[in-house]
Amino acid sequence: MKIAVVGATGMVGTIMIKLLEERKFPVSEIVLVASKKSIGNELKFNGKTINIIGLEEALSKKPEIAIFSAGGATSLEWAPKFAEAGSTVIDNSSVWRMDLSKKLVVPEINASILTAEDKIIANPNCSTIQLVMALAPLHKKYKMKRVIVSTYQSVSGTGIKAVNQLENEIKGIQSEMAYPYPIHKNALPHCDDFEANGYTKEEMKLAREPQKILDDRTFSISATAVRIPTAGGHSESVNVEFENEFALNDIRRILHETPGVTVQDNPDTNTYPMPIYANGKDDVFVGRIRRDETQENTLNMWIVSDNLRKGAATNAIQIAEYLVDKELV
């Protein structure tokens, strides 16, 4: 099984390589791909030194699976070329997610829709993944009508430039800015670019992507996405109105029984999810589970996950694992 990681030197790419090792993915040959400035550099994989190559050379190697995390422009140009050469592409950018001809997959929820004919598979937005991991089993039981979500997103979701901005601001060092304002001791209600309707692209991803993943447009989602000065891990305050009545104990039981979800919910011991504890883990953590006392059949909860792992790299590797397990590549 020849695997290519496109964007191997990036924040998500380096975690993808680490996860392929950790999860003992059946790799016979790994192809590490990055931009021209990184070609010729070296990275380690399973104790071996691997040279970084460019996209043209990687394409000629015809990997069975190519996992892309190199930005939308690269994916738009190169994913079809790899697919045409016979590779199955798992793409972490946003460019294919809402394409009607492409599947948008969270393996625990909808991997069964994948077939051998799917040559470009979209990895959802990081905030979407953790949201639907908690919502999907509840929707199945109680049927959602409306979701209000406010996010508290780490700077790592923007990339290394934003991480450096935060670290330099903490040290009092003037440096290149990833954001239009300081992020240290601040909160920016501004994740990604603004669209004509006044929402950001990140907020519209949260509104649209869950409907596609769950293959259901009978519920609606309204989002406000906020960037906060945490180094890693996204958090979400979620208010869900259901069509059917629920019991809180049943909500906790359903979430507890959902693979990939960990319930941390005990106010008596101050037990609730926090990004500092989600860091480096693959689960989605849910807590602060309580009834909205202002409206019938409505639930409040708090969802936290490592945005670079389950929100990006882990989800992509899980898709690859499913493809191999079902012999779809």
User: Which residues participate in catalysis according to the annotation?
Assistant: 126, 234
* Euclidean distance between CA atoms 252 and 18, whole angstroms: 32
Which sign does the torsion angle of CA 204, 233, 27, 260 carry? Answer: negative
Whether the Cβ atoms of residue 214 and residue 139 lie closer than 8 Å to each other: yes
- Residue 324 sits at φ, ψ, to 5 deg, of -70, -45
* Euclidean distance between CA atoms 132 and 138, whole angstroms: 10
* Euclidean distance between CA atoms 255 and 235, whole angstroms: 17
Angle of helix 11-22 relative to helix 314-325, nearest 10 degrees, comes to: 40
Q: Which strands, in side-by-side order, build the sheet including 65-68?
A: 42-45, 48-53, 29-33, 2-6, 65-68, 88-91, 120-122, 103-104
The DSSP 8-state label assigned to residue 228 in this structure reads: -
Contacts of residues 40-43 at CB distance under 8 Å and 24 or more positions apart, as own/partner, are: 41/9, 43/8, 43/9, 43/14, 43/17
Whether the Cβ atoms of residue 288 and residue 317 lie closer than 8 Å to each other: no
Size (the chain), residues: 329
The DSSP 8-state label assigned to residue 269 in this structure reads: G
* Euclidean distance between CA atoms 169 and 149, whole angstroms: 29
Q: Which residue has the tokens 């009607």?
A: 100
Smallest Cα–Cα separation from 284: which of 132, 153, 103? 132
Smallest Cα–Cα separation from 220: which of 231, 233, 208, 236? 208
- What tokens appear for 289 in the block? 């589970």
